[in-house]
Each structure stands twice: as C-alpha cells, then as structure tokens.
C-alpha cells in the first residue's frame, strides 16, 4: 500500500519538471549545509560591535568579514527562490490561490533582503577608509559605514524576513493538505513558518525565535531535499 501511494505521488510530478526538482533538492540540501557553517563562523569570529571594528576585520580577513555580514544568507536567498518555485509547481494543484500568494511573498522577501545587504558595501568602504590619509576622510567613510550598518537590519531586512516567513507558513499549510509531502514535513514547515514571523531585531524574543528556528529549518531543508530528489529521479 505504501509503495502504491509513493508511486502515485511520483506520477503526480510532471516529468518535464524533474530537472527543476533535482536542482531544487540540491538547493535545499546546500541550505542545510550552510546553517552549521554560519553558526561556527559566528562563534569563532563574532561580528564587531563598531563600524571601525568592521573596517579592521575587513582589513585583516575580508572573507570572514563578508561571512559575518551574512554572505551565505545572501546565497541562501537564491536557493530559497529555486526551492519555492519547485514547491509552487508541486503544490499549486492542491491550492493555487495560497501557493500563488506564498510564491509572491517569497519573491518580495528575497528582493527586500537583497536590498538590505551590506556586505560588499562595507568591504568597499573599508578599503577607502584604510586608504584614507586624513582624519577628515576617515571620519567621512566611518559615517558612511554607520549609515550602511544602520540599514543592514532596517526596514528592508525586517520586511523581507516577515514576508519570507509568511510565504513559508502558507506553503507548509498547503503541504499539509497535499499527498506529495508527508505530514511530518508539513508540520515541521508550519513550526518553522510561525517562528519566522518575528525578526531577530525584535528584541530578545525575536533573537530567541530566530535562533530557535534554525533547528526546524535544518530538519525541513533535509526533508524537502530528500523528497525533491525522489520526485526528480527517473
């Protein structure tokens, strides 16, 4: 009976999308790999607390500076986009309205997150700061760096965070009513979606939610990747 259900689910996947499912599976798996790497980086090289500290970090180790400013999360946004497109294709027959809204919110969230990224801006400013010869020039670049860091986790970041969390939650709700994914995967996604509705900038509670969401995110990425690879297999 289980094999019959599995075969029925696999047959529901349009063969023309099998390459997309495999690519999206690889994207979800890569996201799962990035999570422990990012945690280790933050533990070994905690982000500086001042603009000058960021400039010094970029001077001594620019790659670590980019990672501390969420370079891997920038890459994650591309991976999220690929995965959401695959999930939309798979789940749109179950609830086309919710999946269309979910995909739209995810796209808006990704765009907003890219708008908030400060990694390469700070890298460029650090080069100019360290090359400056006068205190006036250094002060100017320090002020520019403070402005960039103020926008790093500002309106665009918070908007993108909540939009992606809402899109993920809607996707998981539709997943719960679909036969393509099992109920456990759907419930993990729902827990993840709920915990992703509060950005880490919302005080200590937001930070707890953000850190706590890493556990269901890791599990969900692996489960989704496994299922997408199954659907993409000939």
Neighbours of 54 (CB within 10 A): 26
If we measure between CA atoms, which residue out of 137, 200, 189 comes closest to residue 167? 189
pLDDT digit string (tens) for the chain, length 234 residues: 444 444 455 454 567 899 999 999 999 999 999 999 988 988 998 888 889 999 999 999 999 999 988 888 889 999 999 999 999 999 999 999 999 999 999 999 999 988 888 889 999 999 998 888 888 888 998 999 888 888 787 888 889 999 999 999 999 999 999 989 999 999 999 999 999 998 888 888 888 988 899 999 999 999 999 999 999 886
CB 80 within 8 A of CB 39: no
3-class SS of residue 198 = coil
**What's the pLDDT score for residue 170?**
96
CB 121 within 8 A of CB 150: no
**What's the pLDDT score for residue 177?**
92
State the pTM of this model: 0.84
Residue at token pair 């969230």: 109
């Amino acid at each position: 009976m289980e094999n019959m259900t599995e075969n029925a689910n696999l047959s529901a996947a349009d063969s023309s999308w099998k390459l997309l499912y495999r690519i999206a599976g690889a994207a979800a798996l890569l996201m799962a790999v990035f999570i422990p790497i990012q945690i280790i980086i933050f533990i070994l090289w905690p982000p500086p607390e001042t603009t000058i500290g960021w400039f010094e970090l970029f001077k001594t180790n620019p790659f670590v500076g980019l990672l501390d400013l969420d370079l891997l999360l920038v890459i994650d946004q591309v991976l999220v986009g690929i995965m959401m497109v695959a999930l939309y294709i798979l789940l749109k027959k179950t609830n086309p309205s919710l999946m269309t809204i979910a995909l739209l919110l995810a796209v808006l969230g990704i765009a907003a997150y890219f708008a908030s990224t400060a990694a390469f801006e700070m890298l460029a400013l650090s080069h100019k700061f360290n090359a400056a010869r006068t205190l006036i020039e250094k002060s100017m670049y320090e002020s520019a760096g403070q402005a960039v860091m103020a926008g790093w986790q500002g309106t665009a970041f918070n908007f993108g965070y909540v939009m992606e969390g809402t899109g993920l939650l809607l996707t998981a709700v539709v997943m719960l009513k679909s036969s393509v994914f099992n109920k456990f995967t759907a419930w993990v996604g729902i827990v993840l979606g709920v915990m992703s509705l509060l950005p880490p900038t919302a005080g200590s509670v937001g930070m707890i939610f953000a850190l706590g969401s890493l556990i269901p995110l890791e599990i969900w990425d692996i489960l989704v990747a496994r299922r997408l690879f199954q659907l993409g297999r000939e």
